Amino acid sequence: MRAALSLALFVSLAPGMALAADATLEAAHKTYLRYCGSCHGAAGEGDGMVAAFLTPKPPDLTQLATKSGGTFPAHKVMTYIDGTTDVRAHGDSSMPVWGEVFKAEAAWDHARRAEVQGKLLLITEYLRSIQAK
């Protein structure tokens, strides 16, 4: 009986959990597009509208897990996004360097730091979701 009730509760909550996950992924994609899409492309394949003007070319972000032995390197990705780890291409670009912007915003106050961390997590989660299988 208890197992049946647990199953019924899970089944009743599952659609809501799926909707929440879909909403989070949608927010993650929008955040990614805002900060990364112009260079890395809408699907993360390195084909954004300004990619042709950049040297070196933006990498295909759908291959991050493959290049890391099959495991998505979430922490490493976040250090690139937040500017902790320098990315040579970002240093040569005349467009905003989001890592530097994020780092500066995080220093403003506690609320802004939490907002920046939220952006980093959303972008990282979107990148995790687009990894080639």
Asked whether 123 and 31 are in contact (CB, 8 A), the reply is yes
46 CB-contact burial (10 Å; exposed 0-12 / middle 13-18 / buried 19+): middle
Say what angle helices 2-35 and 110-129 make with each other, to 10 degrees: 100
**Measured between alpha carbons, how far is 114 from 31 in angstroms, rounded to an integer?**
15
Mean pLDDT value across residues 19-45: 89
Confidence of residue 100 (pLDDT cuts 50, 70, 90): low
**Structure-model confidence comparison of residues 86 and 7, the more confident one:** 86
Mean pLDDT value across residues 94-108: 64
For the chain, report the end-to-end CA distance as a whole number of angstroms.
40
Q: Record the pTM.
A: 0.74
Is the predicted pLDDT of residue 89 greater than 90, yes or no? Answer: no
Instruction: Look at residue 109 in the predicted model and tell me its pLDDT.
Output: 78
Mean model confidence pLDDT for the chain: 79
